[in-house]
Amino acid sequence: MPEKVKRPGGKVRRKQIIEAATEEFGKKNYHWATTKEIADRAGVSERTVFFYFNNKKELYKNVFEQAFNDFMQAVMRANPPMDDFRTFFKMTGRNLISFIHENPVKVKLLMQGIDVMEDPELKEDFMKMMDAYYKFVHSFVELAQQRGEISKDASLDAVVVLMAGVYVIAVYAEILNLDWFRAPEHDEIDGIVDYFIDNITGAEVKPMSPAARKDAAKLRNEIKMKGGLN
């Protein structure tokens, strides 16, 4: 009696489709990639794609969310210290550069978010993820200000926007192959962080209080439990 062919389970199939869709959407964007091409790359039928995802939009939303969560997990790799603003900023910056080098297609996919802004549903999902990221960074910056690592006169919103700006510039520099942030030395990103923090730091850095340490741990656990920011 011939042996039964072991077929991939549901989770494996879904993962295959997500990975294939990441490649297709990342390289061609949402509008030009087709579910037929995604199915072919995944080694499944187009009907199978629609068994796991109701339509192309739902598939794209899942792919984009997975890429965003992967990005957040990578940025927080090696547990950057929540009680040391300078080291945290440097480590997350280095992690960002590494993520760009290791995942160019996912980075392109994330940068394409603006291409779907004309779709209200996709725009809402994109805005929710960006808002979650902003709130996370803002909470961390607020804790740093409470410790005296950031001047009490500094605008927290401005600090968050400047931090995000450094990350965005780093992404574009790597995509365009500009020699601005050379891995693995990371001298440039470290220098930018030092210059930035030296100009917003307070005169005296206070040790982290038990309550603040608890808040920092909560922020980290939210990322670990959700696999990113949702």
Name the percent of the chain lying above pLDDT 90.
33
Confidence of residue 212 (pLDDT cuts 50, 70, 90): low
pLDDT at 218 (0 to 100): 63
Of 48-57, 86-95, 174-183, 193-202, the range with the lowest mean pLDDT is 174-183
Q: One-letter amino acid identity for 36?
A: K
Instruction: Output the furthest CA–CA distance in the chain (Å, rounded).
Output: 80
Q: One-letter amino acid identity for 29?
A: N
Q: Measuring CA to CA, how many Å separate 28 from each of 90, 138, 167?
A: 33, 33, 24
pLDDT at 132 (0 to 100): 87
Structure tokens at 89: 């900023």
Confidence of residue 33 (pLDDT cuts 50, 70, 90): very high
pLDDT at 15 (0 to 100): 95
User: Rounded CA gap, 4 and 88, in Å?
Assistant: 52
Please check whether residue 87 is in contact with residue 4, taking contact to mean a CB–CB distance below 8 angstroms: no
pLDDT tens per residue, range 164-211? 888 888 788 777 777 776 555 566 778 878 888 888 775 444 455 566
pLDDT at 152 (0 to 100): 86
pLDDT at 227 (0 to 100): 54
Report the predicted TM-score, pTM, of the whole model to 2 decimal places: 0.79
Q: Which residue has the tokens 């922020």?
A: 219
Of 80-89, 145-154, 190-199, the range with the lowest mean pLDDT is 190-199
Q: Which residue has the tokens 């968050």?
A: 160
**Full 3-state SS string of the chain:** CCCCCCCCCHHHHHHHHHHHHHHHHHHHHHHHCCHHHHHHHHCCCHHHHHHHCCCHHHHHHHHHHHHHHHHHHHHCCCCCCCCCHHHHHHHHHHHHHHHHHHCHHHHHHHHHHHHHCCCHHHHHHHHHHHHHHHHHHHHHHHHHHHHCCCCCCCCHHHHHHHHHHHHHHHHHHHHCCCCCCCCCCCHHHHHHHHHHHHCCCCCCCCCCCHHHHHHHHHHHHHHHHHCCCC
pLDDT tens per residue, range 105-136? 999 898 887 788 889 999 998 888 889 888 88
Say whether pLDDT at 226 is over 80.
no
Q: What is the mean pLDDT of residues 30-49?
A: 96
User: Rounded CA gap, 166 and 178, in Å?
Assistant: 14
Please check whether residue 82 is in contact with residue 144, taking contact to mean a CB–CB distance below 8 angstroms: no
Q: Which residue has the higher pLDDT, 184 or 73?
A: 73
Say whether pLDDT at 6 is over 50.
no
9-13, 17-21, 121-125, 137-141: which has the highest mean pLDDT? Answer: 17-21
Q: Which residue has the tokens 């792919």?
A: 63
pLDDT at 44 (0 to 100): 96
Q: One-letter amino acid identity for 12?
A: V
* Residues ≥6 apart with Cβ < 8 Å to 85: 140, 141, 144, 147, 149, 150, 197
Q: What is the mean pLDDT of residues 60-78?
A: 93
Q: Which residue has the tokens 């187009």?
A: 46
Nearest CA among 107, 97, 16 for reference residue 64: 107
Domains belonging to the chain, first-starting first, are 1-53 (1.10.10.60), 57-226 (1.10.357.10)
